[in-house]
C-alpha cells in the first residue's frame, strides 16, 4: 500500500490515493498509523478521492485519533502539491472538494515543483450551529467560557468550516496550552469539540500563535486555526490585513479579499514516499 508523507509548516500528514475507490482504512487503523513510535507518525491522514462536482479532486481528512475533520488548511496545501507533482494534475489553479465546501487554490511553481499554495478558505462564520451562542449584549462569537473552579477565559468562537475557539494572550510561549486546550476542546458548549487557538498580537500585522488541535493535541501549525485567529483579530479590532502569523512550525501569510474571504498562503513539503508492510498491523 503506497503512501506519501507531507508537512505544511510542521503540520504533517500521510496521503493515500483513493481516486478509484472509497477510503480503505478505518479509525482504528488511522490512529495506529499516526502513532509516532509504532506507525508512520502524523497529525492526520488524507485520502485523495474523486470529485462528485467536477473539481480536480476531493479531500477526506482524518485526525490522529481517527475522527474525521471537515477541513484542514495545511493538509489541503499538501494535497495540492501531491496532485500536481505525483498525480499529473499540472494546473496552477485547482479546485478541491472538502466536507466544508469546494476550495479554490493557486499554486506557485518553480522548475516543476510546487513552492507555495494560496487557498481561498472562505468566509468566517461566527454563528455556526457547532458554536456556543453569543452572550447577550456582546458581538457575535464573543463569549466567556467557564472552566470550573472559578476559572474563565474570554474567547472568540467561529467556524472556518470546522469549529474554533480563539483566546488572546499576552505571552503565547507561556500559554498553558496542554492544560487549557483539552478543557476547551471537550467543553459542553462545543457539540463537535473545538480547535483552540492561543493568539498573541505583536502588532496589527503580526501574530504569534499556538494551537491545540481537535483530535490531535498541540500541533506545530494549523491552517484553519491561523485563519480563525486572523478573523478573530479583525473581528475584535486587534489586527489588520495582511497578517504574518508565526507558529511553531513556521509562518503563514493570511489576508482578507474584497469579498470578505480569508485567504492563506504557505508552503507544502513532500518528506518521503513509502510502502506499508503487509504485516504492519501485527
Residues involved in catalysis: 72, 222
The grid cell for 3 is 503512501
How far, in Å, are 126, 146, 152, 153 from residue 149 at the CA level?
A: 28, 8, 9, 12
Q: What is the DSSP letter of 130?
A: T
Maximum distance among all Cα pairs of the chain, rounded to whole angstroms? 59
Grid look-up 476547551 returns 184
The grid cell for 130 is 457547532
Grid look-up 462528485 returns 52
Torsion of CA 166, 168, 174, 177, to 10 degrees: -20
Amino acid at each position: 500500500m503506497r503512501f506519501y508523507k507531507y508537512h505544511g509548516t510542521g503540520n504533517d500528514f500521510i496521503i493515500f490515493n483513493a481516486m478509484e475507490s472509497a477510503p480503505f482504512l478505518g479509525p482504528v487503523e488511522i490512529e495506529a498509523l499516526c502513532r509516532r513510535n509504532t506507525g508512520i507518525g502524523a497529525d492526520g491522514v488524507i485520502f485523495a478521492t474523486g470529485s462528485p462536482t467536477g473539481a480536480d479532486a476531493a479531500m477526506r481528512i482524518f485526525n490522529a485519533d481517527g475522527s474525521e475533520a471537515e477541513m484542514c488548511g495545511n493538509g489541503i496545501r499538501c494535497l495540492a502539491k501531491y496532485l500536481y507533482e505525483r498525480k499529473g494534475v499540472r494546473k496552477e489553479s485547482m479546485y478541491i472538494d472538502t466536507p466544508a465546501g469546494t476550495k479554490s487554490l493557486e499554486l506557485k511553481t518553480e522548475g516543476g515543483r510546487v513552492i507555495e499554495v494560496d487557498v481561498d478558505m472562505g468566509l468566517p462564520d461566527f454563528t455556526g450551529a457547532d458554536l456556543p451562542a453569543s452572550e447577550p449584549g456582546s458581538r457575535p462569537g464573543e463569549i466567556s467560557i467557564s472552566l470550573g473552579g472559578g476559572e474563565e477565559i474570554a474567547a472568540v468562537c467561529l467556524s472556518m468550516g470546522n469549529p474554533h475557539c480563539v483566546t488572546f494572550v499576552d505571552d503565547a510561549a507561556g500559554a498553558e496550552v496542554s492544560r487549557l486546550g483539552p478543557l476547551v476542546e471537550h467543553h459542553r458548549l462545543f457539540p463537535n469539540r473545538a480547535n483552540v487557538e492561543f493568539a498573541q498580537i505583536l502588532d496589527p500585522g503580526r501574530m504569534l500563535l499556538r494551537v491545540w488541535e481537535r483530535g490531535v493535541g498541540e500541533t506545530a501549525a494549523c491552517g484553519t486555526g491561523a485563519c480563525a485567529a486572523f478573523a478573530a483579530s479583525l473581528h475584535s479590532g486587534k489586527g489588520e490585513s495582511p497578517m504574518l502569523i508565526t507558529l511553531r512550525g513556521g509562518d503563514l501569510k493570511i489576508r482578507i479579499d474584497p469579498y470578505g474571504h480569508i485567504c492563506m498562503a504557505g508552503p507544502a513539503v513532500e518528506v518521503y514516499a513509502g510502502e506499508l508492510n503487509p504485516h504492519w498491523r501485527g
